[in-house]
Chain A
């Protein structure tokens, strides 16, 4: 028989997280700190709107770009929160989660051989999506000493004649790193000078601690070369609703809408109505969840300090990214042994790119009780490792 598979798909490795998930799901009594989604339920008024919409029989397709009502609400929200204004009719596309936005943007913009710069460690989708869109992924290794921020120098060093897009995954999964306004200004300047587009994945924009998130699209000269991805999964605890959006220049949005139209039709109608309710009346919920995450973040930083585990202080998302290099083992081995010996699941940093090696991702989308239990176990584990090292 002929090989049923394309050469392209065979070059793509499955996510390193998947492998770990398979081990974890076989075990019992595991405290998992491995998830990338909120532990909160979707706020009741949003769920209630979803139920009401179903009761009313609003179960048909919406327009390809999404409900106009929702796009208007998105535009209003982005203006209010991040001082960037988009035309709801021509510059916003409602997608199936932020993930679809990544895919359609790359497919709409890349020709074979075009290079896409991807700062790592980062979310697992960018590299495979670039390959699927016939682009060439070029990774940039972010450094802990820079708090996992992208610097101007790192960016300049990675740019070639073929560079077309820079992915900006901030606030960052898995490091929790954020870009401040002054950091973004340097990056923006380079992008303008070198004529590079930016794919800014701001799905964690509501989850920053200390200072508000700044969207690179709000900087002068950047809106016309930025695709802004955001969504409802993290901010409103709506992961399972699968709803996000991508905003950008009309010429690109039109083409992305074509792909979306042929591949997806439209995002789930029920979720779109619920999302309108989220944007209109959800600010208080977001603030409450942010406060809870921030407290857990402080708790973990304190716990690491107590056990002498080195970790830069992250100010975004709901992850901490402690360094485990002192134990002289790979992050995969560390995570596996932590799982086997103490039944605590964390994700090896290497799953998020080669430069994630030497770190593990710990999610704090868990209740304090859970985190406390997990930190007791982690502390015991780290203690054992140090004893063995001495021998």
Chain B
């Protein structure tokens, strides 16, 4: 049941719980309790909205920054990750296998914002060995949703 609820909420956090109960063949109370429990357990960590910012007038720059760091004794990568993720302009931080260690996703208003973050804050951390910054030029698909996809029904209206 949990997995089914989560599958739905992941796609549509606005779904009405009564409706969800009908779709899953359950009762609203059961669903509501389960959701509340998952919020409490932090299985559900938030309800976000997927926005195609390109369609708005707001200017944003998103960068992916590959960061190589020296892990610290007894703490591995966790403490350095924490130092980075505490900056509010940092959207995401992932520990990555392969050629670098941390992937930092950063959102700024301008290129200058991003570059000053990298040069002033990120690179100057003692444990950071090197960074490589990639700017996102266009988002085609995010969180499983294709931006601007046409959804016209091309089927004939009545078929046997």
Q: Which residues of A contact B (CB under 8 A)?
A: 15, 17, 20-21, 24-25, 30, 32, 34-37, 39, 123-125, 173, 295-296, 298-299, 302, 345, 347, 351, 368
Measured CB to CB, the closest approach of chain B to A340, in angstroms, equals 15
Chain B residues near A345 (CB-CB < 8 A): 157-158
* Interface of chain B, main secondary structure: loop
Q: Which residues of B contact A (CB under 8 A)?
A: 19, 22-25, 153, 155-160
> Are the C-beta atoms of A302 and B22 separated by less than 8 Å?
yes
> Are the C-beta atoms of B158 and A17 separated by less than 8 Å?
yes
> Are the C-beta atoms of A17 and B159 separated by less than 8 Å?
yes
> Are the C-beta atoms of B22 and A24 separated by less than 8 Å?
no
Measured CB to CB, the closest approach of chain A to B158, in angstroms, equals 4
Chain A residue, CB-CB nearest to B20: A295
Chain A residues near B25 (CB-CB < 8 A): 298
Measured CB to CB, the closest approach of chain B to A211, in angstroms, equals 15
Chain B residues near A123 (CB-CB < 8 A): 160
Chain B residues near A302 (CB-CB < 8 A): 22
**Can you offer 12 A-B residue contacts whose CB atoms are under 8 A?**
A17-B159, A24-B157, A24-B158, A35-B156, A35-B159, A37-B155, A37-B159, A123-B160, A298-B23, A299-B19, A299-B23, A351-B160
> Are the C-beta atoms of B155 and A35 separated by less than 8 Å?
yes
> Are the C-beta atoms of B158 and A34 separated by less than 8 Å?
yes
Q: Nearest 5 pairs between A and B by C-beta?
A: A34-B158, A295-B23, A21-B158, A32-B157, A24-B157
> Are the C-beta atoms of A39 and B155 separated by less than 8 Å?
yes
> Are the C-beta atoms of A124 and B160 separated by less than 8 Å?
yes
Cα of A67 to Cα of B153 in the assembled complex, Å: 32
Chain B residues near A351 (CB-CB < 8 A): 160
Contact of B160 among A30, A32, A36 (CB under 8 A): A36
- Known contacts A25-B156, A34-B157, A298-B25; 11 additional CB pairs below 8 A are A17-B158, A20-B158, A21-B158, A34-B159, A37-B159, A123-B160, A173-B160, A295-B24, A296-B23, A298-B24, A302-B22
Cα of A351 to Cα of B160 in the assembled complex, Å: 9
> Are the C-beta atoms of A30 and B153 separated by less than 8 Å?
no
Measured CB to CB, the closest approach of chain B to A92, in angstroms, equals 26
Cα of A125 to Cα of B159 in the assembled complex, Å: 12
Chain A residue, CB-CB nearest to B155: A35
Measured CB to CB, the closest approach of chain B to A338, in angstroms, equals 13
> Are the C-beta atoms of A36 and B159 separated by less than 8 Å?
yes
> Are the C-beta atoms of A299 and B158 separated by less than 8 Å?
no
Cα of A21 to Cα of B157 in the assembled complex, Å: 7
Measured CB to CB, the closest approach of chain A to B95, in angstroms, equals 28
Contact of A39 among B22, B23, B24, B153 (CB under 8 A): B153
> Are the C-beta atoms of A21 and B156 separated by less than 8 Å?
yes
Measured CB to CB, the closest approach of chain A to B7, in angstroms, equals 9
Cα of A15 to Cα of B160 in the assembled complex, Å: 8
Chain A residue, CB-CB nearest to B7: A291
Measured CB to CB, the closest approach of chain B to A94, in angstroms, equals 22
Cα of A299 to Cα of B157 in the assembled complex, Å: 22
Cα of A35 to Cα of B158 in the assembled complex, Å: 5
Cα of A368 to Cα of B20 in the assembled complex, Å: 11
Chain A residues near B156 (CB-CB < 8 A): 21, 25, 35
